[in-house]
Copies of this chain bind each other. A is one copy, B any other.
Amino acid sequence: METRIERIKKHLHSSSYKLTPQREATVRVLLEHEEDHLSAEDVYLLVKEKSPEIGLATVYRTLELLTELKIVDKINFGDGVSRYDLRQEGAAHFHHHLVCIECGAVDEIQEDLLEDVEAVVEQRWNFKIKDHRLTFHGICYRCQDKDEE
């Protein structure tokens, strides 16, 4: 945890940004909820528990900055809000998501899976891929079990 914060601090410094207390509090919340897919409001409420003086706009600005630096990925599952996902350290690509249309759960796929597809796209469409977003909508294993009862 602390070492990851240290690395993020260096990452900010190398782009001449500072890890202010507000930014650190925000990053800590993201680290403590790595499994989740928090909205800006979610992050704000969690940060507020420990640092009640922080403003929502600051959370937004911090998340924007972290997105710019590719420390987090911004993603949208079709409900009206953007969600923020810490990028795995050293991960070449953004991970994929499984969104259950019954219970709303969002599970993650860390494996790449797209290598072959991306090779085809780069060749056939002459498109230089920098990033991707892949989300599957369907029924999660939990809801399949429920349905069988």
Residues of chain A touching chain B, judged by Cβ–Cβ distance below 8 Å, are 74, 76, 78, 98, 101, 107, 109, 113-114, 116-118, 120-121, 125-141, 144
- Give me 6 A-to-B residue pairs in the complex whose CB atoms sit less than 8 angstroms apart, sorted by A's number: A74-B78, A107-B125, A127-B138, A128-B144, A129-B137, A132-B134
Question: Which B-chain residue is minimally distant from A121 (CB atoms)?
Answer: B136
Query: Do B132 and A128 have beta carbons less than 8 Å apart?
Result: no
Closest B residue to A117 by beta carbon equals B113
Which residues on B sit within 8 Å (CB–CB) of A126?
Answer: 141, 144
Whether the pair B117, A141 counts as a contact (CB closer than 8 A) is no
Is there an interface contact between A125 and B139, defined as CB atoms closer than 8 Å?
Answer: no
Q: Apart from A98-B125, A107-B125, A134-B134, what are 9 other A-B pairs with CB-CB below 8 Å?
A: A98-B127, A109-B125, A126-B144, A127-B136, A127-B138, A127-B141, A129-B137, A131-B136, A131-B137
Copies of this chain present: 2
Report Cα–Cα, A138/B131, bound state, in Å: 7
B contact residues around A109 at 8 Å (CB) = 121, 125
Q: Contact at A139–B130, with CB atoms within 8 Å? A: yes
Q: A130 contacts which chain B residues (CB < 8 A)?
A: 101, 137-139
Bound Cα distance from A109 to B140, whole angstroms = 27
